[in-house]
A and B are shown apart, each in its own frame.
Chain A
Amino acid sequence: MKALMFGWEFPPHISGGLGTACYGLTKALMKHDVKIIFVVPKAWGDEETQNIRLVNASDVLIDIKDKLFREMISKLSYLEIDSTLIPYADDEEYFRITEQLSKGVKADQLSIKTHKYTFQGGYGKNLMEEVKRYALVGAEVARQHQFDIIHSHDWLTYMAGAEAKRISGKPLVVHMHATEFDRSGENVNQLVYDIERAGMEAADMVVAVSNLTRNVVINRYGISPEKVITVHNGVEPATPSQFLEAGKKVDEKIVTFLGRITFQKGPEYFIEAAHKVLKRDPNVRFVMAGSGDLLPKMIRRVASLGIATKFHFTGFLKGDDVDKMFGMSDVYVMPSVSEPFGISPLEAMRSNVPVIISKQSGVAEVLKYAIKIDFWDIDAMADAIYGLLHYKSLPEMFKECGKEEVESIKWGQAGKKVKDIYENLLKKTPNIS
């Protein structure tokens, strides 16, 4: 069985959870004897800017020297698409090209007006253009390769997947790692929403990373429930870090928030809970690690509550600093308002840090050894923090059982489930050659 996969990024060029998830899933599928052609756009424009803009502090870069990774790469048909391959000017041009492609005209024979393209970042006009251009690539790749099934990761690649399906007639699976509601709250970008919805409608099957996401897909995109299956993400096996034992330099207990400081991560709830705890127990320090558009507002809030001597902002952390932060922490809190999955609590647990997570996160569906609260329930959050800091058997139990639990959440199971989805789809489409 061979799958044609469309991603937006892949290690080592990853900018967030999507790349990590694609890597884990691909590896697991290959172990289940699925051959994969993985298509990603080559890093174009200003790569450095792109990374910094999107990297989530909690995401861990995958070591490219990793033997498994190299072994995998050697088996994987990995297509890097030069983004200047098929430039296009506008929608009209785009549809003219797809027309030609569907008639069997080769990409290099296409008559197209070339123009210099520069990547500008954001969800602006240019990203949309890239998405459309990537779709053209999808069509072209589909024409040139043999495969049984198509699998697209997140909205950026849905058009490519749909195009590939149109050209090849093979079944399409789209994978919802995050919805527009997770990214933007209620202020959705209509264009993105439309692409997501069209992609899911075009798809034969939709994979959601949690039941939470599955419900959003069904209720807010109107996708038929029979078409949507939950496949929880896995976790990469732990790589021991020398920083975990680095120890603390302050006597107080440390409670940590680590993530983008944006609306959907719920940083303000963490601050309010911190305030409640500090009123009763001055022997605690709170750390907010990360950056984001709400950072200035959060700093102002901490100052106005008068807790700035006990509440610290580190700015964006990367690499070893993340491990060091976990090494210092006594409690990790993820108060996300909306989190399709959320891998950072798993990273914390792997580092022996007890976690408090919001019920509005997909990862809450798979974890037992974690305290789950509603993101808005500041009293419950404060109480959980206080409990973990004062009643010792609880953190001890979490440390002991949590690590084991995280290690049991493997990509292998996710890979098996996705393969089952492929097989069921192929049974339904008997015209495979």
Chain B
Amino acid sequence: MKSICLYFQIHQPFRLRTYRFFDIGHKHDYFDDYANRFLMQQMAEKSYLPANKLLLDMIRKHGKKFRVSFSISGTALEQFEMYAPEALKSFQELAQTGCVEFLAETYSHSLASLKSPGEFTRQVKKHASRIQELFGQKPKAFRNTELVYSDEIGNMVYDLGYRTMITEGAKHVLGWKSPNFLYCSASNPKLKLLMRNFQMSDDLAFRFSEQRWSEWPLTAKKYLGWINAMKDSEEVVNIFLNYETFGEYQWAETGIFDFMKAFAANLIQEAKHQFKTVSEVSGKLQPVSGLHVPYPISWADEERDLTAWLGNELQKEAFDKLFQIEEWVKNSGNSQLEQEWEKLQTSDHFNFMSTKWFSDGMVFRTVNPFNSPYDAFINYMNVLSDFTIRVERAGASKKQTVDAPAKKTRTTAKTTTSKEKPAKTQATAKKTTAKPKAKTK
């Protein structure tokens, strides 16, 4: 008896409009509302709505036996509310069945876990409370942006109260080990880890309609046969996908929806295995081993590393500059600026600057509006330049109003925060030490 863990990620970024350098200091609207609306509505129509309907039908048909897990980024949630409220409604319907688990993640699909523990913490909390508001459940398991994970990130997640996290079953981490077991963090054994079975997952996400693939056409029977052929001792099959696999990566015409329907029905009928959500797997199984992950891994590309977002100098400069102004943004007390800064953190912006496609024909994870990584970089930096000026001005005007004791307030602010929070988390402690490093870079 194996647990089959279906997990789907839903994310859409706020794409930037073409923002020229001569707009710097003049125009402060950064986002391409038209494209964002168009793409969200298109994605809802082609993927989210039909896929949700399929899942809802299956839950109604099979009762509690069909179970899935979701994580939805905050930027996607905002765009649902703005552009596709019916999609949000259908996710809420799914939530009400009790067969769907919602995971926590960063609010804006941010890579803050690699740079700023403080911001990471803030975003995770913001996301969790939004999930609770919308879906009536408090997330118990965590997924980081792009399944990025390391020992250090695991510790932060644990400190935030999560005991289960999902990540990539990267070969260089697992070695000879199978992803089909529950693991835990070696540095923090109380944090359980579900490892994505990339073979089984990518068979659906990337290869399903590939006619040159030796296994094409992939039928539900064949796929189930692969699961049945796995060793009896193996306990879980983690099939983690971008939700857009249904209807977007794989068009409806490929038969992906019918495949899913048949797969679930057959699996439930055979009754050899059971569908489980992420937290159910974590609660049911015992970790077989601890995993050491000193360097961050992700679910991207062959390398399963960070190079899709922070691989070249352009990405690094943009990322560093963005976080250099963190303190100013936070001190500005301006919620508009804070929200925009958050949206600028979305990992897609950095993915668009990737030069990896020069070598290995990398697939972009969301629709890329730019002609080249250089266009993406220049455009982002133009936006960031304007944004930085606004943040500086906000800081300056705040200083002016406080007038002379400006210096004093800053020092007192520091002391009060540390006083106010005697049970200071490890994360915030790290923040203060990490900051100067970021600045000197």
List residues of A whose CB falls within 8 A of some B CB: 276-277, 279-280, 368, 371-372, 379-380, 382-384, 386-387, 390-394, 396-397
Contact = CB atoms under 8 A, between A and B. Distances in A.
A384 B355 CA distance: 17
Interface stretch (B264-272, B311-319, B408-416): B311-319
Interface string B56-90: 00000000000000000000000000000000000
Contacts of B21: 277, 280, 382-383, 386-387, 390
B332 interface: no
Contact of B381 (A277, A368, A382, A387): A387
Contacts of B314: 391, 393-394, 397
Interface string B375-410: 101110110010000000000000000000000000
A280 B22 contact: yes
B24 interface: yes
Nearest to B381: A391
Interface in B288-327: 312-314, 316-317
B371 A387 contact: no
Given A397-B313, A397-B314, A383 B20 contact: yes
B360 to A, nearest CB: 13
28 contacts: A279-B22, A280-B24, A371-B372, A371-B375, A372-B371, A372-B372, A379-B20, A380-B375, A382-B21, A383-B378, A384-B378, A387-B21, A387-B381, A390-B21, A390-B381, A390-B385, A391-B377, A391-B378, A391-B381, A392-B317, A393-B316, A393-B317, A393-B377, A394-B314, A394-B374, A396-B313, A397-B312, A397-B313
Best-buried of A371, A372, A392, A393 by chain B (most CB within 10 Å): A393
A390 B374 CA distance: 13
B226 interface: no
B96 to A, nearest CB: 48
Nearest to B359: A368
B20 A371 contact: no
Contacts of B374: 371, 384, 387, 394
Contacts of B317: 391-393
A393 B312 CA distance: 9
Contacts of A386: 21, 378, 382
A393 B378 CA distance: 10
Contacts of B375: 371, 380
Nearest to A372: B372
Contacts of A380: 375
B176 interface: no
Contacts of A383: 20-21, 378-379, 382
Contacts of B358: 368
Which of B21, B316, B371, B385 neighbours the largest number of chain A CB atoms within 10 Å of its CB? B21
B378 A382 contact: no
A383 to B, nearest CB: 5
Contacts of A277: 21
Given A280-B22, A383-B20, A383-B378, 10 more contacts: A276-B22, A371-B374, A382-B20, A382-B22, A386-B378, A387-B378, A387-B382, A390-B381, A393-B314, A397-B312
